[in-house]
Structure 1
C-alpha cells in the first residue's frame, strides 16, 4: 500500500458512561419528520408508509459542553433535540424483533440545522446537505449502555433554551420506533458498530443566536449542554 499524501482526522470518539473505552463514530443517519407535531409545525405531513433519512458526516460530531461559533453561511440556525441510538453489532436485513439486539446504547443529541438553506433546497427539490451536514452540527452527550437505560417507553425528551423549555415531548410520540427504524435502515445499508442514528425531533424547534445556551434532557440519559458563540 502506498503512503497517504496527507493525514486525515481519526474517527470521532464518544465517551461511554462507566466505561474506560469510547465509542468510535463511523456514520450518522438521521430520521426526518419522526414526530407528527414537528412535521405539522414545519408545514408537512408524516409519511406513514416508511421512514426517510438524511445523513451527516462523522466529523460533524460535537461533544456536549462545547462552545461553538455560530454556523457559517446561515442567518437562521435551528436546534432539534433528539434521542441518539448507537449501533454496536452488525445489522443487515434484520426484523423488528431482532433490531434491538444490535443497539449498544443511547445518548441525548441535537441536530443543528441551517433552516434557511434547508428551505431553499426544499423549494428547488434539492438535497438538504447544506442545511444539515456542516461542522459541529451533530451534538452528542456521553453514551449510556442500553442495558442501563432499559426499554424505550414514554421517557420525557425536552430542551431548554436560555433556561426556558422550548421542546417537551415523550419518546413514545415517535411515529417510527427505534426497532422500526433499525429494521428499515438495515434493508438498505449494512449497519455496523460505530453507526449512529438520530431519531428525529419533537415540536418546538427554533433559532439560536450568539450567546444562546442549550440544555437537552432525556430521562435516564446524561444531559446535553451547548453554548453558541459569535460567528467566525
Structure 2
C-alpha cells in the first residue's frame, strides 16, 4: 500500500469516527487532524497536530496562538497558520450568538462561556466591556484595553463614552489574567470601584466584573467585592 493510500485510509477512518460517534469520541489532536486535512491535503498531518497540541497545550491554546507562533511549528506554513486562526474566530462567533440579544440573567452560563472562549488563552491582558439595555439584554461588547502580560490600560472616560454611544443602561466588566490565576488583585478592585463611581451620574449600573483565568472565572459580585 502506498503512503498516499495509507493517508487516505486514515483520513476516511477519522471522518467516519466523527460522523458515527461525534466530536467527543475524538482526541484533541484527531480533531485538529481533521481540520488540517483541508489545509495540507497531501501530507500526513498527525505529527503536526500532535506537535501543535504539545506546544500550546490544547485546542484552545492552538486557536489562540499567534500566526508567528503557529508558523514556528514544523510543517505549519504561514497560510496554514492563518487557516488555524479561523478556529478561534468561529468559536467566538458561535459562543457570541448564544448571548447577544438575550437577558444575561437567563443566559449567564453562556455569557461566561463566551468570555472564556474569547479570553481564556490570551497571552496578554485584555479589558472588555459588555453593554446591556434596560431589560438586561446584551446589546454589544467591546475590547477597550489591551496590554502586557499583567496589565491592560483602562480609561473610565472611554468606558462611559462607549456605554452612552450604545445607549446602555448597565455594563459588565471583563478582563483576563494570563498568569492563569483568576483571583482579583487590589488594583482590579480599586479600578472597579472607580468605574462604578464614575458611571453613577450617568445612571449606568455596573452589574459585575469577571476575571477570566486559565481554569476558572472569578465574579466580583459573587465574591462580595461590589
- TM-score by length of structure 1 reads 0.21
- Larger RCO (CA within 8 A; separation ≥ 6): 1
Q: Which has the larger radius of gyration?
A: 2
- TM-score by length of structure 2 reads 0.22
